[in-house]
Chains A and B, each alone.
Chain A
Amino acid sequence: MAGQVSKPSTDVPPLLAEKHAEYVRSFSKIWESTDKIEFVATEHFWMSGMYWGLSAMALLGRLEDMDLQAIVPWVLSCQHSNGGFGGSSRNDPHMLYTLSAVQILALCDQLDLVDADKVANYVASLQQPNGSFVGDQWGEVDTRFTYCALLCLSVIGRTSAIDVNAAVHFIAQCKNFDGGFGCTPGNESHAGQVFTCIGSLSLTDKLQVVDRDLFCWWLCERQTSSGGLNGRPEKLQDVCYSWWCMSCLSILGRLHWIDQKALTNFILSCQDDEDGGISDRPDDMADIYHTFFGIAGLSLMGYPDLKAIDPTWALPCEVVARIKARNTPA
């Protein structure tokens, strides 16, 4: 069985907020580390890493601890003339990093610094006749890119730039026998993909496409005896699924179908209590990705002293409120 018995609560520390804040802060100027071997392997997705780090800090109520004065210009330096953003200033534009960039600017309340029409142009240029989105001009199709497109345009207030109905139709084609969704039609349900599809349907107010009970049951079956969640049947639990699965359950109103106490204990047992950060499983090495998604999962479950996160937008609720107010004509 893919699980281990969860540790009794007394062994598990509470959320070590200060340690995690220190851990994330150490990545504040990640682009200055190009000489370090370990960063060569991550440079192509620094933009996403920065979004994960900033969001984690925002949920911890410590966004101002990050060097926003340096981060925002760095983000802008990654924009290409076609409006898209790359993973770093040396990387080509791509849908994934365009979303991350826009999310960062939203977190920092600096959306005015970006030309919304230019970004919308770029995103819209990647929609295919069948409603799907490619990640860039090289043609990879994936429902992740649909979510990126819809969320990015929602943040900058330009959803009219694309054919929303066609986008939703493509998502519907990716639905599987188990009520879940894959990356393209015919591909296996996987919690990460499932989140991007549910998020897309949530943004477009088309959740009726989802077979709610069937799908949420599939999601609650992700919880293993460890208390953690896996991403699909017979796989190992991983902290990141605390987000991918829980956000869907939250959107669909079925958070109570998993054992939140057991999941909370699992996430907390994945903390590095010396150097801070959260890892995929207990005693593994921490990273920014799992640190954010662990904290995000805890936030969804109402863990104390964390800001609320919006399960659709993957941003703090107060940031989403600010975005919506900004996009609403006076």
Chain B
Amino acid sequence: MVMDASAKLLKVVPEIYTIWNFRREALAPVFEAGGEPAQKASDTELSLTQACLVENPKSYSTWHHRKWVVLKGMCNLDAELRLVSNALDADERNFHAWNYRQFVVRLMKRPLQEELLYSEDKVAQNFSNYSAWHYRSILLHRLHCAADTTGAEHAGISAQLQGLHVGTGAYASSIPSAAPSDNSTSTNVPSASPAPPPREADASTIHGANASSTHEADASSSTERSQGGALSGGGGPESSGLPSTTGEFLGSATQQVPVPVEVLDEEYDMVHQAFATDSRDQSPWMYYRWLVGNSLAHLEQAKGTEAEVQARTILEAVLARETQRMRVDHLAADPNAKWPLLTLARLREAQGRLGLCAGEGNDTSAAAAAEANSIYERLICLDPLRAGFYKDALEGKAFVVVSALGSGTV
């Protein structure tokens, strides 16, 4: 059987994407027909991809095929969550697995709070787990700051879940048509069936439902295999929707508002725990920079409003607290430790620029700026690979944390 031979080959060389394509073409009608054979096919493909992933956990093609199978709706999503959790236990930095986790979590509509707990566990297992800290930043944003509902969240799986769009190639129109054309003049491009099936219901019906919505495309030419694909109902209007295509793109497009102050306080505690364990891991320090950016953003966004005074007071206290922690928790014991030094320089730079030094007693903005500069000078010697960066920082040309949320302005 050709399918058996392809399975053998894929376990050794999973990135031969054409072979996965071949399998999908052969299986599409089976899933279309539904019932027992479809369930069996689903089980077989899950088993195959699992075997492949054991050998090659970083294969794009394999993870993608598994998503394709899962979207047929005949699998157990709890089992998928377990599979990806195992993959992350084996390699906590496997971004394919993190990507797959986000896919499964969305399909399951798993509460974000539970994912936040998961990321906390991963961070507690290993504080230098940059992937887990990154995931936290995504989750916190979604939980607290998600003003953006452009559907970008779904972009990662929109092609399958919300309707894969493969156009007819009529590129004269600048925006791809939302519905597939049913009288393509080109024989070279797979065209969707003239009568697209009813749109797949939302994600919650996928589990356990026969959500098969694929159909064969017309054969494109007699010299090629039928290019039957995963063409579901086409990019219908209820897909992620056309994003705003006008206007300027400024700064951190994904995050417009900061994480709430109380939440930030908890996050600061978490990173300080990480620092206490091993302050040389850069991951928590990089996450920390983002926290400070959020803190600064509260003031930035309150400027000119009646909330400004309170925002200044809160930020002043945060900056005073954090500079103190850098000095006492870290620099007292190791005055040349790069990360606490760099962080202190940035905190002092922020205090200086924003005139928030009252918490430091008789300190002035000038003194804060001077201390920041003297630290950058020392870092040129302590961290010489990045001398070019520190020199620019000395000249005020490297706003990294002073720019709240990375928006590039103070």
**Chain A residues within CB distance 8 Å of chain B:** 1, 40-41, 43-45, 80-83, 86-87, 90-92, 94, 118, 120-122, 124-132, 134, 136-142, 158, 160-163, 165-166, 168-170, 172-173, 175-179, 182-190, 206, 208-209, 211-218, 220-221, 223, 225, 227, 232-235, 254, 256-259, 262
Contacts and interface: CB of A to CB of B under 8 A. Distances in A.
Interface string B330-357: 0000000000000000000000000000
Contacts of B315: none
Nearest to A179: B406
A137 B156 CA distance: 15
Nearest to B12: A41
Contact of B165 (A128, A138, A185, A213): A128
A288 B24 CA distance: 31
B301 interface: no
16 contacts: A83-B189, A125-B189, A127-B165, A129-B241, A132-B155, A166-B243, A168-B249, A173-B254, A177-B134, A178-B290, A214-B406, A215-B406, A221-B286, A227-B385, A234-B130, A234-B282
Contacts of B187: 81
Nearest to A187: B99
Contact of B245 (A126, A166, A208, A214): A166
In the A-B complex, list the 5 residue pairs whose CB atoms are closest, starting with the nearest.
A121-B169, A211-B406, A184-B156, A172-B253, A161-B171
B384 A137 contact: no
Contacts of B251: 211
Contact of A137 (B155, B221, B231, B254): B231
B387 interface: yes
B67 to A, nearest CB: 8
Given A129-B178, A185-B156, A258-B388, A122 B99 contact: no
Contact of A213 (B160, B385, B399): B399
B282 A81 contact: no
A61 B102 CA distance: 46
Interface of B: 12-13, 15-18, 20-21, 24, 60, 64, 68, 93, 95, 98-99, 102, 128, 130-131, 134-135, 137-138, 148, 150-160, 164-169, 171, 174-176, 178, 186-190, 217, 220-221, 223-224, 227, 229-231, 235, 239-246, 248-255, 280-283, 286-287, 289-290, 384-389, 392, 397-400, 403, 406-408
A91 B17 contact: yes
Contact of B128 (A94, A190, A225, A234): A234
Contacts of B398: 213, 217
A258 B99 CA distance: 30
Q: Taking chain B's interface residues, is the majority helix, strand, or loop, or is none over half, making it mixed?
A: loop
A126 B406 CA distance: 32
Contacts of A94: 17
Contacts of B159: 128, 132, 134, 139-141
B325 to A, nearest CB: 21
A291 B246 CA distance: 42
A190 B98 CA distance: 13
A217 B60 contact: no
Contacts of B242: 129-130, 166
Contact of B16 (A1, A44, A187): A44
A122 B188 CA distance: 9
The residue among A161, A177, A178, A213 with the most chain B CB atoms within 10 A of its own CB is A177
Given A44-B16, A208-B248, A183 B99 contact: yes
B326 to A, nearest CB: 18
A126 B93 contact: no
B244 A169 contact: yes
A130 B17 contact: no
Given A83-B188, A121-B188, A173-B150, 6 more contacts: A138-B230, A139-B68, A169-B243, A223-B385, A234-B93, A234-B282
Contacts of B134: 176-178, 188-189
B151 A130 contact: yes
A262 B406 contact: no
Contact of B158 (A127, A128, A178, A258): A128
Given A81-B223, A130-B155, A122 B400 contact: no
Contact of B227 (A120, A137, A209): A137
Q: Taking chain A's interface residues, is the majority helix, strand, or loop, or is none over half, making it mixed?
A: loop
Nearest to B390: A257
Contact of A220 (B98, B227, B386): B386
Given A184-B156, A213-B408, A130 B403 contact: no
Nearest to A233: B130
Contact of A121 (B135, B171, B289): B171
Contacts of A142: 60
Contact of A170 (B93, B223, B231, B243): B243
A259 B383 CA distance: 11
Nearest to A83: B188
B155 A188 contact: no
A86 B171 contact: no
A137 B190 contact: yes
Nearest to B20: A138
A91 B231 CA distance: 20
Nearest to A153: B171
B160 A139 contact: yes
B155 A212 contact: no
Contacts of B168: 125
B126 to A, nearest CB: 10
A172 B249 contact: yes
Contacts of B18: 44, 86-87, 90-92
B155 A178 contact: no
Given A125-B168, A166-B242, A186-B138, A209 B253 contact: yes
B156 A40 contact: no
A92 B138 contact: no
Contacts of B243: 130-131, 166, 169-170
B99 A184 contact: yes
Contacts of A138: 20-21, 24, 64, 68, 229-230
B95 A188 contact: yes
A44 B17 contact: yes
Nearest to B137: A177
B156 A187 contact: yes
B253 A175 contact: yes
